Amino acid sequence: MGELAKKIEALLFVSGEGLGISRLSALTKKSDGEIKLALEELEKHLSREHFITILRDGDKISLVSSKEISKLVEDFAKEEFAGELTRAALEALTIIAYKGPVKRMDIDYIRGVNSSFIIRNLLMRGLIERVRNAKDSRTYLYRASTDFLKFFGLTSISQLPDYGSYKEKLDEIQ
């Protein structure tokens, strides 16, 4: 597999939510045509060697699990969404509640790991919501939802324990 295909694979993995061809072109400083060829190469490699495949949704490209492993992934997801929140989910939820609205890449930076699946879990549970970033229309921001406030019996996010001091500490991280 060529270097460009490897770079695209890494970018798609890290993005979590997918990237458009034009964004991949800008990031790698390659033409749209070169990106499309590298995507074909990556797709062939993934189909031969992995249970990961490429999902094309309009111009947006994402990495997803392949249909051959869908039952295992479905069972895992059901368990994750139905059970109690994991430590990792509570960690991400805390960051979003105290620092929000916040970009996913900032959550990843604070946690030190990719948080895409956890954020998706929190979204599906209704504890957070995703809103467009007014400063950059290509990205989203995450914040605690109204259901989060209801669940914890709060009328405002500022009612969280030690809200001011924790928010200040999280804001200092960046």
Residues 118-149 have pLDDT tens digits of 998 899 888 999 998 888 887 889 999 988 88
CA nearest neighbour of 43 among 52, 34, 35: 52
CATH topology for the 84-173 domain: Arc Repressor Mutant, subunit A (1.10.10)
Domain boundaries, the chain: 3-68, 84-173
Write down the pTM of the prediction.
0.56
**Is the confidence at residue 160, as pLDDT, over 70?**
yes
Among the CATH numbers 1.25.40.20, 2.102.10.10, 1.10.10.10, 3.30.70.20, which is that of 3-68? 1.10.10.10
Give the neighbor-by-neighbor strand order of the sheet with 60-65.
19-20, 60-65, 52-57
How far apart CA 100 and CA 94 sit, in angstroms, is: 9
